[in-house]
Homo-oligomer: A and B are copies of this chain.
Amino acid sequence: MKLVHGSKEGRRLLARLRRPLGEAELPEAVRQKIGRVFGAELDAQAVVDRILADVREGGDAAIRRYNKEIDGVQAGDDLSLKVSAKEIKDAYAQVDEKVVRALRFAADRIRTYHQKQLDHSLIGFDEGGLGQVVRPLRRVGMYVPGTTAAYPSSVLMTGIPARVAGVAEVYMATPAAADGSISPLKLVAADITGVDGIFRAGGAQAIAALAFGSETIPRVDKICGPGNIFVALAKKIVHGLVGIDGIFGPTETLVVADGDADPALCAADLLAQAEHDALASPILITTSDALAEAVMREIEQQLESLERREIAAAALEGQGLAIVAETLEEALALANEYAPEHLSLAVSDGERYLGQVANAGSVFVGGLSAEAVGDYTAGPSHVMPTGGSARFSSPLVVHDFLKVISVVSLDEAALAELGPAAVVIADAEGFTAHARAIERRLEGGR
């Protein structure tokens, strides 16, 4: 973890962490696999183009081929891409009852939060024949990454807001293990969420299947959820044909701390961020030199006992940053420029500083608000904007599964009020058929 003083240098280093998606070179192991699968040295974009075209053309057979060649699934064609009801039922036996209870508890909290959010989301209105109706999307597909690791929380955090919004059909695609099985944790979480169908499909072939449809996998209206660079690029390419929730990169936590913050808790939060993956960004901005140094010492100590210490160390080495700023206002200005996914306000009067937060996915206010609670049980979705996209986008919200339809319903009085000016502008734009369509009505129609 690098320690720097002053917001000028801090700003420069934060800006360097904002590498556009796909500009980093692919790891050697991935490049070798691409060579084996495609017989050529393709870049990520070319790989994704090939997979999308193949799945669009070949359907289930192409999905199976890529599941095998890329994800290493060895199960034969007799195993359906669709997970059976029995597999889901059997999954419960493989998950500790304590974990099932915790997932149900988390599901309840997430559902309750999003029901409140729905109450504060878009609503329909009609004033004098002008208004909007709000409708849920019909079919949503969520992608859940990971074969060795399983993140049941991401299933809940994506699927439950969709269900609360009233989406009629919610599907899940996720990579299978070599024997074709899906992690029981994911299956239990999907069952608790109330998913309508679970499909064995990983990476870009999963996104292609959800965008185009295949014999087994339904075409959806919107695809949600995070994934690796291939998933992100595939979502970007199919966007327009289907909706997407956003383009997600590695996760980030920025802790703003004053001199009274607890260094052990700041360190624990930064390590919780760092253990995600080697590309995660754990960042501290503080007004106290002493705190910065204490946090760095704590990180070294706490790191020793972590199971995922190699990953956390790599993230700290690669992206870890501690910046000492002059004032909390300066610290928050830097945080707003960086626009982190997670922002922890480890300051004495957190609520006061909340008003200065312009760009963040989620804010954790005060020393007790562990970001990790937000990852699981607080309620708001942990699917959030990364890479600085908090400048212009929101966490996954109920509204992502709703849409507006504008309604124009004019009577004669409204037409008489609105029509003449519309005719003038239509004529000015050279659209005489527009003008005529209005004039015919103003003249009394039939």
Contacts and interface: CB of A to CB of B under 8 A. Distances in A.
Interface of A: 20-21, 95-96, 98-99, 101-103, 105-106, 109, 113, 116-117, 119-125, 127, 129-133, 135, 137-138, 149-153, 185, 221-222, 232, 236, 239-243, 246-247, 262, 264-265, 268-269, 271-272, 274-276, 302, 306-308, 312, 350-351, 354, 357-358, 360-381, 384, 387, 389-395, 397, 399, 403-412, 414-415, 418-422, 424-426, 428-438, 440-441, 445-446
A370 B438 contact: yes
B275 A431 contact: yes
Contacts of A406: 361-363, 374, 380-381, 384, 395
A414 B372 CA distance: 14
Contacts of A418: 109, 373, 377-378
Contacts of A404: 394-395, 397, 399
Given A308-B430, A394-B403, 13 more contacts: A113-B130, A120-B123, A122-B397, A152-B425, A274-B433, A275-B432, A275-B434, A306-B433, A357-B405, A365-B409, A373-B419, A375-B422, A376-B434
Contacts of A354: 133, 407
Contact of A445 (B241, B264, B440): B264
Contact of A409 (B117, B350, B392): B350
Contact of A377 (B241, B422, B441): B422
Contacts of A384: 406
A368 B117 contact: no
B403 A135 contact: no
A105, A150, A424 pick with most chain B CB within 10 angstroms: A424
Contacts of A276: 431
Given A430-B149, A433-B274, A445 B262 contact: yes
A425 B377 CA distance: 9
- Top 8 A-B residue pairs of the complex, sorted by shortest distance between their CB atoms: A243-B392, A380-B406, A102-B424, A365-B409, A376-B422, A394-B404, A362-B406, A268-B437
Contacts of A243: 389, 391-393
28 contacts: A98-B424, A99-B428, A102-B420, A116-B127, A129-B365, A137-B391, A137-B392, A151-B429, A242-B392, A243-B392, A269-B437, A302-B436, A308-B430, A363-B407, A365-B409, A371-B437, A372-B422, A372-B438, A373-B408, A373-B418, A373-B419, A374-B406, A375-B434, A377-B421, A381-B406, A394-B404, A395-B405, A399-B404
Contacts of A242: 392
A360 B405 contact: yes
Given A121-B122, A394-B404, A445-B265, A368 B426 contact: no
A256 to B, nearest CB: 14
B425 A308 contact: no
A440 B264 contact: yes
Nearest to A343: B405
